[in-house]
Structure 1
Amino acid sequence: MRIALGQLESGTDIGANLAAMDRFAAAAAGDGARLVAFPEYASYEKKVGDASFPAVAEPLDGPVCTALTGTARRHGVALVAGVIEASGKPDKAYNTLVAFGPDGSLLASYRKIHLFDAQGIGESRFISPAPSAEPVVFEFGGVGFGLLTCYDLRFPELARALSDAGAEVLLACSSWVPGKHKTRQWLALTAARAIENGVYVAGVCQAPPVSVGRSVLVDPMGAAVAELGLDPAVAAAEVSLEVVAEVRRQFPVARQRRLGADFSAGWCRPE
């Protein structure tokens, strides 16, 4: 399956952000992609979170998601993007990923588990963590896609849980805060999560200045098969279940692990 990374430069103009996603979805579809992934906070983003985030939050059947379903249907692609979901609390919202099918149906939604309370930034001031830590995996075109958001990459147990739940591709939708060594860490962590789980990792990021850019699709051996630079852009590449199966055959870590392992389960049982 061919999938695309849509690297945005989202700001506070929701209409402009939605229009950019529509343009990139059209380009991705024209390049043969069946799924296009956009970053965290794709619909609304600022350099520093503030009270405007819960103020613009909507339910998942609100105008933002309605526009995204229209984009998915119009271009005949599955679409994954970060939105700000209303939580029912006036001062807090959810940082949510939504996945829509080419027919506009909701395939999955994932509320960010690990909020970025680090580097002097307090995401939890205006965002509520997911009430459930259950991994979210959806199937599209015979491929299992697992959802995680930005800071989640630093928690390898979530990527492992997604893989155990059937993910063959992890969609890491992010707005990776810039700083010392942060681009190096972004690239290292996307590769590490791919290698240790035998999966593809699609790390799709916001562009500078709010984030580091450098969106990347990493294969299960840790090689980058698609990369973007610092500017808003879209890139597509193939993901192969045959490659996933072969790497997991060579490195059957799921059945070999001993810390917290359930030896009766996993995606790579002994013959």
Structure 2
Amino acid sequence: MTIKLIATDMDGTLLRDDRTYDAAKLRQLLDEMQARGIRFVAASGNQYSKLRDYFKPVGPDQITYISDNGALVSDQGQILAKETLTRDQIKRILEWNKEHNGLTANMIILSGIHGAYVSNHATDDMIRMTKLFYPNVYQVERFLDVNDDIFRVSLIWDEHEDVKEHIKKLRVAFGDELHTTGSGFGSVDILAPGVNKKTGLVELAKLWQIKPEEMVAFGDNDNDLEMLRYVKHPFVMPNAAPFMHKRIATQALNDNNHNGVVDTIEAILADGLTELSN
């Protein structure tokens, strides 16, 4: 089967721990993929503007973006699909978090099309950490007064905290009304119902007439699972948590700190897909 689309998560997958990647090698692979008619998709919890920043060294317009964990799909500067949270949904999330976590247990970030929004009470350290993931950060007095399309609400604990219990509680509280997923670094993302990286790929599949059987995807975390299960050729990173390896059998050739994604793509382009999948 011909491969027509390759999608990758960013943090813990394409990106090294210092948030860099082998730009020179990826640029060569992108040229080859373009010549073969293979689309390259960055599917990430990061915002669109942050993803474009990451790909400046290779040409950001060569990439299609599934950002905010599937809530926004963009190509060549054009929005192809978006799913936002309603004001009432945001209000209910904030009330739930206040009831269960108080005002100091975690940090709240609203991710919108124009930027990220945090409380006026956020400390300088919190703002500095937030700017690692969000280029435009605004402090606000009241989240419900934000005038923007909000794609997700992120609840942030310490980066080493196991957030599985928080996710379970949120899923019990909201059921199918909202989609809750872990996004790494102690973060839990809450999105509109049914929104995930898979739904972004489904939109692209319809637009470009590409079948899941013609797709490859790379990921390392809970928020990648729907995408990895959708494509025929999923690769989990060797550095992923054990629960990911129980769900996805095939590993990338190396971990994120040793060019795992680009080396595996190189092998795929050299017709090594059958060998890699065995």
TM-score (norm 2): 0.33
Question: What TM-score do you get using the length of structure 1 for normalisation?
Answer: 0.34
Specify the structure having the higher radius of gyration (Cα): 2
